[in-house]
Structure 1
Amino acid sequence: MGHPMWNELSYFLIIALFGIALFLLVVLWSVRRHRAPKLRIECSTPIDDLMPSLAGLTLGTAVAGNAVEVFENGAFFDALFERISLAQRSVHFETFLWKEGVLGQRLADALSERARAGKQVRVLLDATGCKKLGKAARQQMEDAGCKVVFFHDKKFRNIGVLNDRDHRKLVVIDGREAFVGGHCIVDTWLGDAQDNDHFADVSLRLQGPIVNSVQAAFSENWVGQTGDLFVGDDVFPALEPAGDVQIHAAFVKPESSAPAVKILHHTAICLARKRIWIQNPYFIPEPEAIDAFGDAVSRGVDVRVLMPSTSGSDNPMVQHAGHRNFEKLLRCGVRLFEYPHTLLHQKIMTIDGVWSAVGSSNFDDRSFDTNDEITLGIKDAATARRLDAVFEKYMPHAREIELAKWTRRSTWHKMKDNMFYLINEVL
């Protein structure tokens, strides 16, 4: 038996260490917490007249004179590779998910070719999402002259931010055109969403002054990871108008306020007067957002959400976490549609047929509070119609959730919903 004094000392040390660990967790929580935005706005002005407000609240600037092209599914990559092959000065590529395969090799070849041609090629990859990139592809790009950098790789210096991921998907070419959306570099993004092995997604090609803002988003994380600054016409040229669309980019994560993407989505919900149509693969709104949807319905707003079902999802746990609040949403008057055939990965919200949000943000706490994201706020009725047409294409093949049937789902289903909701912020 140990000496009583040593036993007491051991207990004291254990309690002290536990207390220190708890204190450090509280400090970390305090440093990283922010106030959630209040979801009540007294304003009768139409959302398309509030672009300066939306941009200002999200720490950006609305710029006019832009052109927008919408690309669906695998057709996006045909456009992307064509534009990369024509790059004359620089290619900046940033993504969350890249897995070894046919698509990954095509991209490695395209970026390597431009680097060998003497162009500046910077590749920024999330360390977690791109861990299956493949050594050969990385080596190929680096040997060709590409600068390949990983965001928050698993090193001691990143121990406090390992849960913070770079979820953006963007490309900037010559500082004059950009691609922003949801497409990842995995073979399941090829094709035309024809089955469970071919996902659906939407990305945009942008021309005009907004490209400078997208380049700024890339620069933010590139400088954060490397310390390297880039300047000049090769990357930030003076951009002439290319169309008549007004856009702003939300991507900033200030220390003491809610991230810009969260403020943007929540403000738009409060401003809707006719219609809110959401397409999102991971829909887990916070309770205050659900109340804001209910307030919108009470104003006469048609609120619909299209998402994959557990059979269509690449991560059924997330769908179950979302299911936990379906009953409240349905009682609020929100219409919910689940698509069973494949993953609908597009991240889109249209408001009143005149304004759209498109980007990398899921409608959940991880995207709104933790990840680095980018969402574009777009004032353009033609773009909204084009994005609503994507919604309408998939909706006839989706199943609308009915309240009476939903409340009778199995006990095992309800248990999974509640269990996975407890960890929704880390899914």
Structure 2
Amino acid sequence: MGGKVCGEKRNDAHSVMDFFAPFACYHAMELFGLHINWRTALTVIVIACHYALIAGVILRVMVRDQMEPVVRLTWVMLIALLPIVGVLVYLLFGEIRLNRAKGSKMRTVRTKLSSVWAMGRAADHGAAVDAANSFAMGTATSDFYPVADNRLTMLPQGDAMMDDMIRAIEGAEDTVHILFYIWLPDGVGGRVVQAVCDAAERGVTCRVLVDAVGSRLLIASPHWKALRAAGVKLHRAFPFRNPLVEMLFQRVDLRNHRKIAVIDNKITWIGSRNCADEAFAIKAKYAPWVDVLLRVEGPLVRQMQSVFLADWMLYDDDAPVHLLLESQSHFPPVDDGPVVATGVTGQVIASGPSQSVIGISDTMIAMCYAARHRLMATTPYYLPDMALHQALLAAARRGVDVTLILPEKNDSWVVAAASRSLFPTLLAAGVKLRMYRGGLLHAKIMTVDGMLSIVGSANLDRRSFDLNYECNILMDSPEVADMLDARQAIYLENCHEITVAQVALWPTWRRIYQNLVALAGPLL
């Protein structure tokens, strides 16, 4: 009986291992005389699967197309050194992809808007020779051609710059189209909400699209319900749900960073301003938020309209495209502004990870190589791809007066540290570094030789170039360049200089810290 009981226990043990028979690990070891229990076999299987997963993800990194070698190396190091964390982070953020349904819808929308993407070819030949390459890169990015006879008005600093947009919404007769990355339920945000509600109630067709993450406070506020109750058509861009599920189908941190408002297909604005108070309550300790905003009239409005419609139609196909994209043959009345530039040749450059392998960075690189005398750039975040960084260095080394204006206090400590790791190379090349002390300088501007300029939503960092949906306008106009240089001169009055001597006094721990953070730069 005792033997029978022992036999039953042995049979029970074999039945447990038979559960793992598909793995063949336990039985294979028995063939070679290696007697192990089922727990050891299971451990071996888990370890084998673990390393197989790591090897598989690294192999995927190695076979990905259009990935810079430095980015590829960074991912391989992260996955190898921190396997579990590295694999999870790569699955969440390592690949720029949309789910198939959204990708298909984007292609369909682009086909519907194809006629407007082909407009403006005639102005291409009127561009200055030094601007031609920059415009060509812009066309390669979003298929828009430069168009002439635009008028731009520089708006005052502070919350007063939003008064112009609010007045235009209050006077709208046909359509109000608004897209913001961040729209806060604060003073300015509330005034814009009220103006849009009033427009909708008097019969104007109003469409509002906001980024689901950047404008989450507005969406959760009574303002969002008020807009819907007034008849405003509402949508959220890239709604954020369950990352563990969504990462199987698309990258979860893609954002629509654009700032677009188009009124009656006659007026639009370009700049860095979100729909929020200058005090920016959600990050008040960095306030004031210092932005730039220009009113735009003329053929460029139609290009901005088509960018809005392309984004809107991803969520709602109700827009009468041909009616909304009809060209305007006249300018509406314009209130006097501080500076007005007329006859401007410009081009909208709309970039995004699903749109083109070329981006706004490539246009800025072309601008750097076109520079002969002076280049000035303002950005809150300087962490560009290596090509743009080298282009700035090359401009300074060949004698161009290059000035880079950054905020002294930055709301992103990671980007701030990684950015400062680049200061020694910038200073060694002769770039003038100026740190703004009057709040968080949020403007995104680049001007070249008093002729070529670009302004909009894109920062000089990899997130703007690779992950965000951005919208800028490139212009070939001495008047516009002078306007933007004058605004940057105001910034310079509140700046202090970073010198080679100051950087040389940085303690070793600070250099190590900044350079360690910068190792993750390609992933930021």
TM-score by length of 1: 0.88
> Unpaired runs of 5+ in structure 1?
37-44
CA contact (8 A) 2:181 2:258 kept: yes
- Equivalences, count: 413
Q: Give the secondary structure class of the aligned counterpart of 2:198.
A: helix
- SS of equivalent residue, structure 2 residue 314: helix
Greater mean deviation of Cα atoms: 383-392 or 240-249: 240-249
Q: Secondary structure at the match of 1:187?
A: coil
* 1:389 Cα deviation after fit: 0.6
Structure 2, unaligned runs of 5 or more: 1-12, 18-36, 70-127, 332-341
What is the CA-CA distance between 1:84 and the residue it aligns to? 0.8
Letter matched to residue 418 of structure 1: N
**Which structure shows the higher helix fraction?**
2
Q: Does 1:244 align with 2:343?
A: yes
Match of 1:294 among 393, 402, 408: 393
1:283 to 378, 382, 390: 382
Give the Å deviation of 1:253. 3.6
- Is residue 143 of structure 2 the alignment partner of residue 68 of structure 1? no
Q: Name which structure has the greater RCO, CA cutoff 8 Å, separation 6+.
A: 1
Superposed CA deviations along residues 217-273 of structure 1, whole A, max 9, x for unmatched, are: 11222122334443243x222222654111101114475953431211111112111
Counterpart-to-counterpart distance in 1, 2:224 and 2:293: 25
Q: Percent identity, aligned pairs only?
A: 27
- Superposed displacement of residue 320, structure 1: 1.9
Counterpart for residue 261 of structure 2: 171
Change (3 A) 1:304 1:232: same
Q: How far apart are the structure 2 equivalents of 1:119 and 1:25?
A: 53
Q: Give the structure 2 partner of residue 377 of structure 1.
A: 474
What secondary structure does 1:373 align onto? strand
Offset at 1:404?
1.7
Larger-Rg structure: 2
Larger mean CA deviation between 130-139 and 358-367 belongs to 130-139
Matched with 1:53 is 136
> Which residues in structure 2 correspond to 1:79-90 (within 5 Å)?
79-90=164-175
Aligned to 2:41: 8
Contact 1:65 1:241 in 2 (8 A): no
Is 2:309 the partner of 1:210? Answer: no
1:14 and 1:174 mapped to 2: Cα distance? 63
Q: In 1, are the aligned partners of 2:267 and 2:301 still within 8 Å (CA)?
A: yes
What is the DSSP-based 3-state SS (H/G/I as helix, E as strand, rest coil) of the residue aligned with 1:409? Answer: coil
In 2, the alpha carbon distance for the partners of 1:291 and 1:425 equals 15
CA separation of 1:99/1:257 partners in 2, compared to 1, >3 Å: closer, same or farther?
closer
Q: What corresponds to 1:124 in structure 2? A: 209
| Secondary structure at 2:178 match in 1 | strand
Distance in 2 between the 1:248 and 1:345 partners?
22
1:41 counterpart residue number: none
1:226 aligned residue? 316
Q: Deviations over 1:253-306 (max 9, x none)?
A: 475953431211111112111111001111123333222222212322111101
More off after superposition, 173-182 vs 56-65:
56-65
Separation in 2, partners of 1:29, 1:67: 48
Cα deviation for residue 14 of structure 1 reads: 5.3
Counterpart residue number, 2:23: none
The 2-side partners of 1:384 and 1:325 are apart by 27
Equivalent residues of 1:209, 1:241 under 8 A apart? no
**Residue from 378, 386, 406 that aligns with 1:307:** 406
